[in-house]
Amino acid sequence: MSFDDSVHWLARAAQMRGFAEETKGGISKHLMRRIAEDYERFARTIEPRPNRFPPAPAVVPAEVRLYGRKNSAGAPPRRFPDLVIPSFLKRGPATADELGASA
């Protein structure tokens, strides 16, 4: 559920009112009711706003599909530059003789 949806905040307000009814402390109960009122006020302010996140298009253009991660089977292979690997990485781990000689 989107946080831009007023239904979400109205549900949170109802949930907070339920918590307030279960609470025994007077100050806590008052604060929870105030929070519920704030949630409702926020829901009323975002109701008239247009949806800022329209639904995704059903058809994805071919140019976009080339670089998508979900459908990588049809994507072109990635090109990496020719890198020169340093010799200390090529030789592998040190042998026991090399470790004993340096100690």
Domain interval for residue 26:
6-46
**pLDDT at 33 exceeding the cut of 60:** yes
Asked, for residue 74, whether it belongs to a domain, the answer is: no
Q: What is the pTM of this model?
A: 0.47
Asked, for residue 1, whether it belongs to a domain, the answer is: no
How long, in residues, is the chain? 103
Asked, for residue 33, whether it belongs to a domain, the answer is: yes
Helix (H) or strand (E) holding 103: none
Asked, for residue 41, whether it belongs to a domain, the answer is: yes
Asked, for residue 17, whether it belongs to a domain, the answer is: yes
Cβ proximity of 17 and 32 under 8 Å:
yes
Asked, for residue 57, whether it belongs to a domain, the answer is: no
Asked, for residue 35, whether it belongs to a domain, the answer is: yes
User: In this structure, what DSSP letter does residue 83 have?
Assistant: P
Q: Please give the pLDDT value at position 71.
A: 46
pLDDT (tens digit per residue) in 43-69: 998 887 776 666 666 776 776 666 665
Number of domains in the chain: 1
Q: What is the rounded average pLDDT of the residues 27-47? A: 92
**pLDDT at 92 exceeding the cut of 60:** yes
Asked, for residue 20, whether it belongs to a domain, the answer is: yes
